[in-house]
Structure 1
Amino acid sequence: MKRQYMLFVIVLLFCMDTSAQQKEYSGKMHVTMLSLQQEGDSVYVKLTFDISGVNVDSRRSISLVPALVAASDRLYLPEVVVKGRENYNVYRRETALMSSREKAAYAAEAPYAVVPGFKSGNSRTIAYSVAVKYSSWMADAKLDMYEDLCGCGNPARRMGITMLANRITLEKIIEPYEITPSMAYVQPVAEPVKRREITGEAFLDFVVNKTDIRPDYMNNPQELKKVTGLVAGIKDDPDVTVRTINVIGYASPEGLLSNNQRLSESRAKALTDYLASRFDYPRSLYKVAFGGENWDGLKECVEASQMPYRKEVLEVIGSFPAECGYAAQVRRKKTLMNLKGGEPYRYIIREFCPLLRKAICKIDFDVRNFSIEQAKEVFKSRPQNLSLNEMFLLANTCEKGSQEFIDLFETAVRLYPNDVTANLNAAAAALSRRDTVYAKRYLSRIEESIDIPEYHNTMGVLEILCGNYDKAASHLNKAAESGLPEAKQNLEEMAKKQENAILIGQQQSKKQ
């Protein structure tokens, strides 16, 4: 009897629970999965919720929670909440009374949608679209839908679980193809004798019509230090043999040419005597010369200035040749002296002429040749003593594309900025690390008429990296026809790059 009573109570409770659940809402909620797909670094979930004909108990709400579920990981997605009448009105009042800060905090964790679950005669569908960051565990994840009951001040109760998809559709991502450029370098011509020169200039101050140097007069201490420092630097270099020390005097254009020549030569000789007294080079190494009246220097001064009648002064300098002859020189000078009543000429005498009276010290010297091992040490302290060929051979001992490799070619072009081979090799080294900015700078110093395979190969790689495939093909085909293997490799790389671009375009079109 007792056992029968207990069984009756259990059946009664079950019936009461079933009756309560039936009262929580009526109708059927339909959730349709449209897509569950990984694209790039994201997973896209698209669903449709149809709650037409659903009526939720007035004080309750139903939460529909999609979730990505794997064996050891789970990610809940934003929920869709369907509320009964009284529950929905409370929600509306609470959100309406929120402050701006409270609304911002709520928005950070708000449901995907909150919709009324009453008036079942209305058609209600919700388009659900969410993207989340892809993680590797999601490759084996399924998509479940949890149905939770909330309300009446009680904790949420799970009413059911439905599997919407058993696996994410994984996308095969087509990554942009990065070409591997094949660069070709030109070996510079070896120099049997490395002849070099170095030049410094000094603007020495002399007492009027005097030619002797006073080391402590006006700016002479600083100017003399520039010249002595130049000679001392060469003197202290054990790898250098001096051939000639040329001291050239220049005069400003005012006054008589004969007097200017006499003063300039005497002042140049005074500087020679000053250097000879401080360095033990044989006097036979010194050569004194008159550089002439410094019209080129005057032109540079005028061009860089905002002097009165600047344009007219430049026209006079450019119209009359500076021939070596008193009559011709007077002709130019006389024209300047008479220009605009002599105002610009007086400005020139005052502002520019002191800068035009200068002495140039030009040292011609030879540098000995070095083996590879010697060149390694010289490059660390005196790279200017290496020839282009020595730096090229030294670069070939480094790994291609390494920082040491690139540094050698960049040092070479810095020391020999006008050399075609130095600029071409520096451009190739820059492109080996995909640096198109520096490559363009070096290549701009080379005449476009140059027709050697290495130039066309370098230009071809530059055009590929800039996306100009037609121009790249033109250059690379020229280099390939000359038998340069690097050009053929770059043509193959360009074909792979173009094919890859087509595939990426097709993939993007499908997404749209």
Structure 2
Amino acid sequence: MRIMLRYMACVLMVLLLGTLTSMAQSRPSYVGTISVKPVRVLQAGEMLYVEMDIILDQVKVKSAGAVDIIPCLVASSDTLELPKVSLKGRNEYATYERILALMSNSERSDRAIPYLVERNVKPESRTIQYRHTVPYEPWMAKAYLDVQKDECGCGEIAWMEVETVDSVRLDFIPEPYRVIPHMAYVQPVPEPVKNREKQVEAFLDFEVNQTYIQPEYMNNPVELAKIRAMIDELRVDQDITINRLDLIGYASPEGSLAGNKRLSEGRALALKNYLSRRYTFAPSLYHVVFGGENWEGLRKALTNLDEPYKVAVESIIDDYDGQERKDRLMRLQGGAPYRYLLRNVYPKLRVAICKVEYHVKNFNVEEAKEIMKVRPQNLSLNEMYLVANTYPNGSKEFINVFETAVRLFPEDDIAKLNAAVAALSRRDIETAERYLDQVKHRELPEYANAAGVLALLKDDYESTRKYLQIAVDAGLEVAGKNLEELEKREQTDLEIKSRKK
């Protein structure tokens, strides 16, 4: 039924259009004057720009009328019809909207998209600025701009009086010079011994005043599994030797310091006993440490709280220590904030940290290349640098090594600088700028070269010259090549500017 109704609607529209067409054939569709003034037709690189002004002088389209202005590029070998400008009367515009509403998405995508469709219901004088771009093709070198006018949509087209404009001889604007950046990476210092550490925080649950771990008690299964997973990953890796296990117990800051020390050390010792029953590490590898009352953890917890007393609590932590700090917290605002912290925050401050210190064997380049594919965390920055240089400079594999390095060594300045250089080599300005901003020590000429290239890609020529000159003065050869790139870019910019005048 819905299909039949849609079909009947389309038939009615066709009949209506036929009526409108016959009316348009019998008399002009509009009053007033329409003229066209070509502005320019120019080639710029791979594109052709068509610009003209359509001038309306007291134009009013009749209710059932329409007029289409159709620009064309005309040559002896070919003709290209450009998107039209369509002015429609009141009823004709309503019909146009109904037809669009009845079309499916595929039907809409198949139809030619006009440049402009407007309803014209009263006399108006104005200029429609027509600006359109098409891919340049060789035949257009001998083409000129002409314009057709169709008053009825029935194919009876009249050529308008338009000044002939040649598409190529009118103007030619060169494309901006595409800079070829010359990059310099920094080789990290080799590590004779690759010492590493890894740690996990565990929020173990103990019964009140107890120091014995019950593996199935409350959330202990999940927390203990986190510790075992870390140790197991290191223990089964044949390239790793575990040297030390620190078990650090932190206490929440209520009660006495002596009592907290006793509970925290006892709970850390309980964790040692739990691990000793499951692993065959030498007893000398275990070290039980009292981390103290966890005031730092309380500071971090406060950042996530949206409570009016937060600033007052932070001030007490900053300005006092020892028992006075605790007493002032308990008295603050009648004790309500302290009771909230005691119930909701303090339990999470009773944390045990298992920290494993280990070292990783050193690899030659071929070994490191294979390790890079499966366990890149076992490589040093220098080993990653050597792996990167087994690939073509600037290749996907080459860049991927430096981007992996900065993820594994996020605090290392060399890793951040090399990651910025890798991003610049693929013209990722945003990523490069983010990494360069994070570099703390900026005295290396490679940093100045990277900052200069970044400024060049952002068209900041003054900063480009300043940074690159610093790198040149420091003896970095590629910086001189980038200064040459700057000169080429500035020269084409001047040519483009002069031709646009």
Task: Using structure 2 for the length normalisation, give the TM-score.
Answer: 0.73
Contact 2:173 2:500 in 1 (8 A): no
Indicate the residue corresponding to 1:310 in structure 2.
310
AA aligned to 1:139 is A
Q: CA deviation at 1:100?
A: 3.0
Contact 1:69 1:143 in 2 (8 A): no
Indicate the residue corresponding to 1:471 in structure 2.
463
Q: CA deviation at 1:66?
A: 9.2
Matched pairs, number:
410
Q: CA deviation at 1:306?
A: 2.3
CA distance change for structure 1 residues 206 and 491 in 2, over 3 Å: closer, same or farther? same
| Residues 1:243 and 2:249 are matched in the alignment | no
Residue in structure 1 matching 2:392, options 389, 399, 404: 399
Is 466-475 or 302-311 further displaced after alignment?
302-311
Indicate the residue corresponding to 1:42 in structure 2.
48
Question: 1:221-244: CA deviations, max 9, x gaps?
Answer: 111111111111111111100110
Indicate the residue corresponding to 1:138 in structure 2.
140
Indicate the residue corresponding to 1:220 in structure 2.
220
Over alpha carbons, which structure has the higher Rg?
1
AA aligned to 2:228 is T
Indicate the residue corresponding to 1:492 in structure 2.
484
Secondary structure, in 3 states, of the residue corresponding to 2:486?
helix
Q: CA deviation at 1:342?
A: 2.0
For residues 383 and 233 of structure 1, the distance between their equivalents in structure 2, rounded to whole angstroms, comes to: 14
For residues 235 and 491 of structure 1, the distance between their equivalents in structure 2, rounded to whole angstroms, comes to: 52
For residues 234 and 139 of structure 2, the distance between their equivalents in structure 1, rounded to whole angstroms, comes to: 69
Q: CA deviation at 1:102?
A: 7.0
Indicate the residue corresponding to 2:404 in structure 1.
411
AA aligned to 1:457 is N
Is 308-317 or 192-201 further displaced after alignment?
308-317
Residue in structure 2 matching 1:376, options 369, 390, 415: 369
Indicate the residue corresponding to 1:453 in structure 2.
445
For residues 387 and 399 of structure 1, the distance between their equivalents in structure 2, rounded to whole angstroms, comes to: 21
For residues 359 and 131 of structure 2, the distance between their equivalents in structure 1, rounded to whole angstroms, comes to: 75
Indicate the residue corresponding to 2:360 in structure 1.
367
Indicate the residue corresponding to 1:345 in structure 2.
338
CA distance change for structure 1 residues 166 and 216 in 2, over 3 Å: closer, same or farther? closer
For residues 344 and 194 of structure 2, the distance between their equivalents in structure 1, rounded to whole angstroms, comes to: 41
Structure 1 unaligned spans of 5+: 1-32, 48-64, 79-94, 110-128, 147-154, 157-163, 322-328
Indicate the residue corresponding to 2:78 in structure 1.
73
CA distance change for structure 1 residues 75 and 349 in 2, over 3 Å: closer, same or farther? closer
AA aligned to 1:245 is L
| Residues 1:482 and 2:484 are matched in the alignment | no
For residues 455 and 184 of structure 1, the distance between their equivalents in structure 2, rounded to whole angstroms, comes to: 9
Please show how residues 90-239 of structure 1 align to structure 2 within 5 Å. 99-100=92-93, 133=134, 134-140=136-142, 169=169, 171-239=171-239
Contact 2:75 2:143 in 1 (8 A): yes
Is 235-244 or 164-173 further displaced after alignment?
164-173
Secondary structure, in 3 states, of the residue corresponding to 1:272?
helix
Secondary structure, in 3 states, of the residue corresponding to 2:353?
strand
Indicate the residue corresponding to 2:500 in structure 1.
508
CA distance change for structure 1 residues 42 and 289 in 2, over 3 Å: closer, same or farther? closer
Q: CA deviation at 1:42?
A: 3.2
Contact 1:308 1:344 in 2 (8 A): no
Q: CA deviation at 1:76?
A: 8.1
Question: 1:161-203: CA deviations, max 9, x gaps?
Answer: xxx8999627444011110111111100000000000010111
Q: CA deviation at 1:450?
A: 2.3
For residues 366 and 345 of structure 1, the distance between their equivalents in structure 2, rounded to whole angstroms, comes to: 44
RMSD of equivalent CA atoms: 3.8
Contact 2:42 2:167 in 1 (8 A): no
Secondary structure, in 3 states, of the residue corresponding to 1:241?
strand
CA distance change for structure 1 residues 215 and 39 in 2, over 3 Å: closer, same or farther? same
Indicate the residue corresponding to 2:121 in structure 1.
none
Secondary structure, in 3 states, of the residue corresponding to 2:74?
strand
For residues 313 and 469 of structure 1, the distance between their equivalents in structure 2, rounded to whole angstroms, comes to: 50
Contact 1:36 1:168 in 2 (8 A): no
Contact 1:36 1:169 in 2 (8 A): no
Contact 1:206 1:214 in 2 (8 A): yes
Contact 1:44 1:131 in 2 (8 A): yes
Q: CA deviation at 1:343?
A: 2.0
For residues 221 and 165 of structure 1, the distance between their equivalents in structure 2, rounded to whole angstroms, comes to: 82
Q: CA deviation at 1:99?
A: 3.0
For residues 332 and 178 of structure 2, the distance between their equivalents in structure 1, rounded to whole angstroms, comes to: 65
For residues 311 and 130 of structure 1, the distance between their equivalents in structure 2, rounded to whole angstroms, comes to: 59
Percentage of identical aligned residues: 45
Contact 1:37 1:169 in 2 (8 A): no
CA distance change for structure 1 residues 75 and 240 in 2, over 3 Å: closer, same or farther? closer
Q: CA deviation at 1:401?
A: 1.6
Indicate the residue corresponding to 1:420 in structure 2.
413
Q: CA deviation at 1:142?
A: 7.8
Residue in structure 1 matching 2:351, options 338, 352, 358: 358
CA distance change for structure 1 residues 75 and 276 in 2, over 3 Å: closer, same or farther? closer
For residues 177 and 380 of structure 2, the distance between their equivalents in structure 1, rounded to whole angstroms, comes to: 39
For residues 34 and 218 of structure 1, the distance between their equivalents in structure 2, rounded to whole angstroms, comes to: 81
CA distance change for structure 1 residues 46 and 232 in 2, over 3 Å: closer, same or farther? closer
Question: 1:105-163: CA deviations, max 9, x gaps?
Answer: 9x979xxxxxxxxxxxxxxxxxxx998955312334589999xxxxxxxx99xxxxxxx
AA aligned to 1:431 is L
Indicate the residue corresponding to 1:8 in structure 2.
none
Indicate the residue corresponding to 1:83 in structure 2.
none
Question: 1:46-96: CA deviations, max 9, x gaps?
Answer: 99xxxxxxxxxxxxxxxxx998343x4356899xxxxxxxxxxxxxxxx98
Indicate the residue corresponding to 1:333 in structure 2.
326
Structure 2 unaligned spans of 5+: 1-36, 54-70, 100-112, 116-129, 149-154, 157-163
Q: CA deviation at 1:276?
A: 1.2
Question: 1:309-329: CA deviations, max 9, x gaps?
Answer: 2111111100024xxxxxxx2
